[in-house]
Amino acid sequence: MSSAPKPWDGAQVRKWLECRLEAARLDQVVADKRGYAAQEDYDKAAAEEWVCRALRIAASKDDRAALADRLKDLLGHEDYPVTGIYDDRRFVRFVRVNLRKLAKMTKAGEGFENTLRYQ
């Protein structure tokens, strides 16, 4: 039995994206300082930053359907152009993981209240 999604709160979604964007930047700095051993962490944080940046415009419309359409569009891409990462395949995998996570959150309308840095 599925429950109805929570009411959409565009301001909360935008705040969540901004918090995740800032956390991803900080994670990239930390991983960069750790060097070679943290290249995967850097790519993971870079993927999260890329996703948050790509969704900012769609989230500004206060429309769940617009965000869901943008997520669907991004999931349909095969390549996500970015520079400064260590492994392209790993980056693409992390982008897809983040997009699927956000698609589930958008569909349910839940999870956007958690703005902590570490999730």
CB 106 within 8 A of CB 58: no
Look at residue 56 and tell me if it is in a domain: yes
Q: Which domain holds residue 18?
A: 10-108
Instruction: Tell me how far apart the alpha carbons of residues 113 and 42 are, in angstroms, rounded to a whole number.
Output: 25
How many structural domains compose the chain?
Answer: 1
pTM as predicted = 0.90
Look at residue 14 and tell me if it is in a domain: yes
Look at residue 4 and tell me if it is in a domain: no
Distance of CA 22 to the CA centre of its chain: 11
pLDDT the model gives residue 62: 86
Look at residue 1 and tell me if it is in a domain: no
DSSP state of 83: S
Residue 106 pLDDT greater than 80, yes or no: yes
pLDDT band at residue 4, thresholds of 50, 70 and 90? Answer: low
Report the interhelical angle of 39-59 vs 10-34 (nearest 10°). Answer: 160
Residue 19 pLDDT greater than 70, yes or no: yes
Mean pLDDT score, 13-30? 95
Look at residue 60 and tell me if it is in a domain: yes
